A and B are shown apart, each in its own frame.
Chain A
Amino acid sequence: RKEVEQDPGPFNVPEGATVAFNCTYSNSASQSFFWYRQDCRKEPKLLMSVYSSGNEDGRFTAQLNRASQYISLLIRDSKLSDSATYLCVVRPNQGGKLIFGQGTELSVKP
């Protein structure tokens, strides 16, 4: 089983749609969780951290379920500019290395 596994893509959605990405992780002792965004042929950039109580940043909502070892990212009112690959990232222990999922590609169409 992969340490971090994401929904296979690509997701093709119309503008204005709501889309959700899921991610599971294998290490139950994992400490920190993130969503990164990667545009085509560019470096990943932090989209948002994921907190235990769930957190929202504008149209983006991240949820963490420690019991099920599951993270989600919800994007509301999709924009063309949301088209990118979204990487689920887990840190197994404080200060340790990051483990990246394989990414889920999102394509938002007019």
Chain B
Amino acid sequence: DGGITQSPKYLFRKEGQNVTLSCEQNLNHDAMYWYRQDPGQGLRLIYYSQIVNDFQKGDIAEGYSVSREKKESFPLTVTSAQKNPTAFYLCASIKPGGVNEQFFGPGTRLTVL
């Protein structure tokens, strides 16, 4: 089955530690996205990548970093510079052409203690 996987589902970290969230897709999609969702709010774009070895900042990139070394993988690092990292993080990819539906992974719920 094709899809997007994110791991882990729940993640706890101490304040001041960097943490990397995994996102893998086997849909052969070029474009991948990282969003953050806080309670009662919509999704806010952190970073996105249209193609391997290229990525752009979204609306709230400060305190985050990404890499796109492979088409299938788009890991997100939450650094200690992110002031309020506790949130639900969602990775998505998009099929080019047609409806341009975004497919989402199941998300990682990060809690910083």
Q: How far is the CA of A91 from the CA of B82 in the complex (A)?
A: 27
Given contacts A43-B90, A91-B100, A102-B40, are A97 and B105 in contact (CB under 8 A)?
A: no
Q: How far is the CA of A97 from the CA of B45 in the complex (A)?
A: 9
Evaluate contact between A97 and B48: CB separation under 8 angstroms.
yes
How many A residues, CB 8 Å from partner? Answer: 20
Residue pairs across A and B with CB atoms within 8 Å: the count is 45
Query: Does A32 sit within 8 A of B, measured CB to CB?
Result: yes
Evaluate contact between B100 and A95: CB separation under 8 angstroms.
yes
Within 8 A of A (CB), among B46-88: 48, 58, 88
Which residues from A are CB-within-8-Å of B99? 32, 46, 49
Of all chain B residues, which has the CB nearest A103?
B42
Which residues from A are CB-within-8-Å of B44? 100
Of all chain A residues, which has the CB nearest B102?
A98
The 8 A CB mask of A35-64 against B (1 = contact, 0 = none) is 000000111111001000000000000000
Interface, chain B (partner A; CB < 8 A): 33, 35, 40-45, 48, 58, 88, 90, 96, 99-102, 104-107, 109
